[in-house]
């Protein structure tokens, strides 16, 4: 048996032994669906756009520039499809092995992949809201306006600027963050999947649990604490994990 398979068997053991498993995901889950992360030195978002535009101060100062820079990226997210990590986590939830997915991503791919209990602590790019009256619309309406030359896109009710329902730098996290902390405190196993754990305060969530599993392409500072740490492609690991669970249930 290879070392990876041994680790997958151990993860399966931990899933079956635990009563309240929570998964924390990051950008490494979405990159496999063709969505760039923010910080990669080669193709990260910050290599092509000014990070200052994605602060709340930058948005308020120049929302037109925000939309000029962000719309191609937003359209890319809009077209992305779930990958085996998303569908695999949904399958674990369906089998009762995962209670909740806490995600730092804003792409909605966990829901599209079948997960039902998803806490989006950084918000969602599926909708946009008026910064004045709170009117909410699908993000497609706002992006259509931008591509038709309406910069910045404005609320049809009050004429104020529409903002994607994502948490920009300098803003508070969504109410889902409070629920995420509650889930972490109840958890007897937290799986970190596709996150380098560099972003605060999300990187504090695993500290509430003594039993950790890390599945991420690169190492994280939680690796040494984890019961199992796998430095691999998350979809590959998730496929093999589901296969292992299938074999135990006689499905393979």
How high is the pLDDT of residue 45?
Answer: 56
Q: Is 122 a catalytic residue?
A: yes
Catalytic entry in 86, 110, 122, 219: 122
Residue for token digits 């306006």?
145
Q: What's the pLDDT band for 155 if we cut at 50, 70, 90?
A: very high
Residue 48 has what pLDDT?
Answer: 62
pTM of the model: 0.93
Q: Per 3-state DSSP, what percentage of the chain is helix, strand, and coil (rounded to 5)?
A: 45, 15, 40
Q: Which residue has the tokens 């509650």?
A: 182
Q: What pLDDT digit, counting tens, does each position of 167-222 carry?
A: 999 999 999 999 999 999 999 999 999 999 998 999 999 999 999 999 999 999 99
- What is the pLDDT at residue 43? 54
Kindly give the residue spans of alpha helices, DSSP state H, lying in 18-149: 27-30, 56-61, 63-79, 84-94, 109-112, 139-147
List Cβ neighbours of 218 (8 Å cut-off, separation of 6 or more). 196, 231
The answer on pLDDT for 126 being more than 70 is: yes
Q: Where are the domains of the chain?
A: 1-35+83-122+173-252, 37-79+127-166
Strand partners, 189: 21
Judged by DSSP in three states, 95 sits in coil
- The Cα 80–Cα 65 span in angstroms is 24
Domain 37-79+127-166 fold: SIR2/SIRT2 'Small Domain' (3.30.1600)
- Helix or strand or coil: residue 65? helix
Whole-number average pLDDT of the chain? 93
Closest CA to 124 of 84, 173, 159: 173
Q: What's the confidence (pLDDT) of residue 114? A: 98
pLDDT, residue 131, reads: 84
Same fold for the pair 1-35+83-122+173-252 and 37-79+127-166? no
Q: How far apart are CA 24 and CA 177, in angstroms?
A: 12
Tell me how far apart the alpha carbons of residues 57 and 8 are, in angstroms, rounded to a whole number: 44
Architecture of domain 1-35+83-122+173-252: 3-Layer(aba) Sandwich (3.40)
pLDDT digits (tens, 9 = 90+) for 136-149: 999 999 999 999 99
Dihedral Cα 84, 252, 216, 41, nearest 10 deg: -40
């Amino acid at each position: 048996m290879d070392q990876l398979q041994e680790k997958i068997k151990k993860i399966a053991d931990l899933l079956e032994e635990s009563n309240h498993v929570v998964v924390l995901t990051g950008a490494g889950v979405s990159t496999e669906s063709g969505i760039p992360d923010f910080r990669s030195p080669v193709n990260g978002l910050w290599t092509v756009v000014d990070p200052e535009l994605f602060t709340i101060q930058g948005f308020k100062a120049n929302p037109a520039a925000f939309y000029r820079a962000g719309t191609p990226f937003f359209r890319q997210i809009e077209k992305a499809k779930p990958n085996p990590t998303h569908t695999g986590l949904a399958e674990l939830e369906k089998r009762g092995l995962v209670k909740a997915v806490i995600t730092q991503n804003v792409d909605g791919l966990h829901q599209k992949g079948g997960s039902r209990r998803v806490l989006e602590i950084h918000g969602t790019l599926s909708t946009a809201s008026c910064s004045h009256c709170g009117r909410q619309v699908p993000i497609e309406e706002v992006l259509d306006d931008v591509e038709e030359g309406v910069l910045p896109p404005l609320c049809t009710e009050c004429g104020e600027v529409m903002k994607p329902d994502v948490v920009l730098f300098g803003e508070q996290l969504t109410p889902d963050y409070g629920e995420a902390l509650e889930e972490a405190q109840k958890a007897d196993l937290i799986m970190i999947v596709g996150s380098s754990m560099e972003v605060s305060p999300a990187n504090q969530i695993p500290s509430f649990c003594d039993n950790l599993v890390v599945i991420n392409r690169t190492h994280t500072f939680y690796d040494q604490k984890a019961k199992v740490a796998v430095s691999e492609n998350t979809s590959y690991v998730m496929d093999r994990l589901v296969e292992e669970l299938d074999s135990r249930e006689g499905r393979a």
